[in-house]
Amino acid sequence: MDGTTNTFVLGTGSCLPKRVLTNAELEGMVDTSDEWIATRTGIKTRRISGPGEETSHLAAGAARQALHMAGLTAGDIDIILLGTVSSEMSMPSCACLVQKELGAVNAFAFDLNAACSGFLYALDMADAYLKRDPALKIMVIGAETLSSRVNWQDRDTCVLFGDGAGACLVTGSSNGSGMIASKMFSDGRLFDLLCMDSALGMNPELSNYQNQGSFIRMIGRDVFRYAVRAMVSAVEHVLTQSGLTVDDVTLIIPHQANIRIVKSMIERLNVPAEKIYVNIDKYGNTSAASIPLALDEANREGRLQRGDLLLCCAFGSGFTWGATILRW
Ligand code: ACO
């Protein structure tokens, strides 16, 4: 109760495409099997967008739910921060499309690209705005349609990803609840272990031999190794920063990339599996949407009570990674 302003969650929401794509269906599309996908990744189904379910529509759907939970309206939003790498347009930002769809006429809006860490980066940025003005209402969203960015002939990647959106409406709190620690990291030297080309090929002067089309490319084994190490170290960093131990934490929501990454983290952090929220079996890797989607599910399932400590950690292309602790 020292008067410090912390980022406090007023409401959560999520939105998923209707279409469920099963591992069995993927068996008919590429040389793979339900058994390989389930044992190597933990994924059983994922959602795939259809018409009217572009990234901005999923994002707006999640934001509406968060507003509803908070008992506020679109006109109350001051800022829309949206983490995504798969907007339906390069310009304007997906956040501006969401603003239009919501009718959030009093907000300013922009996207943020930190790949799978996009939501935590956006939450961290919201915290900085709230330190300047605690009264702001900020809609923090992670939304993706990675189905539009994977090569559906590449079994190494197409089985891993899914579409969806999650949102948190946040404001400032000075009663000790809210975000109590947060730390983000990047290492651009490793960019080519997990990447996606842009449309550089439209200008022959700028296109280069590396441009292989706007698809996700990944050296899975290396990404796996870095992801475990980086998320564990980010978690340890924020625990130290806040003077807490992992035993104090009620629930951990890691980025949902691969169940084996999560299991490796559980071992290294020495936490009981029940403390870790997992829904990768249903949705696959939804990149920036994965943490807010899981957070909304956990919240609606009653897994978080006032005063509980929530720890989120992410890892993505860049590489980018980070961790955040919130007192619920
Ligand atoms: N079905 C069947 N076989 C496959 C498939 C598939 N879908 N994909 C790859 N294989 C084969 C490979 O060709 C290889 O065959 P080979 O031994 O004959 O060469 C074999 O399976 C093993 O391949 P590995 O890549 O070594 O398999 P691994 O156990 O590492 O699992 C995976 C691959 C699932 C991609 C894993 O490395 C992983 O999850 N890495 C992290 C990926 C990740 O999390 N990315 C995203 C993080 S950041 C973000 O969210 C964007």
Give the per-residue pLDDT at 278.
Answer: 97
Ligand 1 atom showing the smallest separation from residue 221 Cα = 37
- Which residue intervals of the chain bear CATH 3.40.47.10? 6-175, 180-327
Query: 10 Å Cβ neighbour count for 88?
Result: 14
Q: 221-255 burial by CB neighbour count: b if 16+ within 10 A, else e?
A: eebbebbbebbbebbebbbeebebebeebebbbbb
List, for residues 53-76, the tens digit of each pLDDT value: 999 999 999 999 999 999 999 999
Q: Judge if the beta carbon of residue 317 lies within 6 A of ligand 1.
A: yes
Catalytic residue among 6, 158, 168, 255: 255
Ligand 1 centroid from CA 227, angstroms? 14
Ligand 1 centre from 221 Cα, in Å? 7
Say if residue 199's pLDDT is above 70: no
Measured between alpha carbons, how far is 265 from 254 in angstroms, rounded to an integer? Answer: 9
**Shortest CA distance to 56 belongs to which of 31, 80, 33?**
80
CATH class of 180-327: alpha beta
Question: Pick the catalytic residue: 6, 23, 258, 285?
Answer: 285
pLDDT in tens, 237-277: 999 999 999 999 999 999 999 999 999 999 999 999 999 99
> Whose CA is closest to 119, among 316, 327, 281?
316
Contact between 184 and 123 (Cβ < 8 Å): no
Residue 213 has pLDDT above 80, yes or no: no
> Given this model, what pLDDT does residue 60 score?
98
Taking the complete model, does pTM exceed 0.85, yes or no?
A: yes
Examine the pLDDT at 207 and tell me if it is beyond 90: no
Q: Is the pLDDT of residue 211 over 60?
A: no
Using the mean position of ligand 1's atoms as its centre, give its distance from the Cα of residue 220 in Å.
5
According to the model, what pLDDT value does residue 188 have?
Answer: 97
23 lines ligand 1 (CB under 6 A): no
Structure tokens at 202: 């439209």
pLDDT tens-digit readout, 107-158: 999 999 999 999 999 999 999 999 999 999 999 999 999 999 999 999 999 9
96 catalytic per annotation? no
Compute the distance from residue 157 Cα to the ligand 1 centre, in Å.
Answer: 8
Check pocket membership of 312 for ligand 1, CB cut-off 6 A.
no
Q: Is 227 in the pocket of ligand 1 (CB under 6 A)?
A: yes
Ligand 1, from 258, 261, 278, 285: best to mutate by most atoms within 8 Å of Cβ?
258
User: CA nearest 246: which of 278, 227, 228, 271?
Assistant: 271
User: Using CA positions, which residue lies closest to atom 41 of ligand 1?
Assistant: 224
| 1 pLDDT more than 50 | no
18 DSSP 8-state letter: S
CA-proximal residue: ligand 1, atom 9 (nearest): 156
221 close to ligand 1 (CB < 6 Angstrom): yes
What pLDDT digit, counting tens, does each position of 175-193 carry?
889 999 999 999 999 999 9
Task: Place domain 6-175 in its CATH homologous superfamily.
Answer: Thiolase/Chalcone synthase (3.40.47.10)
Q: How confident is the model over 77-88, as pLDDT tens digits?
A: 999 999 999 999
What the block records as the tokens of 16 is 């998923």
Q: Mean of the pLDDT values across residues 197-217?
A: 68
pLDDT computed for residue 4 by the predictor: 85
Q: How confident is the model over 206-228, as a mean pLDDT?
A: 81
Q: Is 158 a catalytic residue?
A: no
Q: For the segment 20-52, what is each residue's pLDDT rounded down to a tens digit?
A: 999 999 999 999 999 999 999 999 999 999 999
Judge whether 151 counts as a catalytic residue: no
- Alpha helices, DSSP H, located in the chain: 23-27, 34-41, 55-70, 94-102, 118-132, 155-158, 220-242, 259-269, 280-283, 290-300
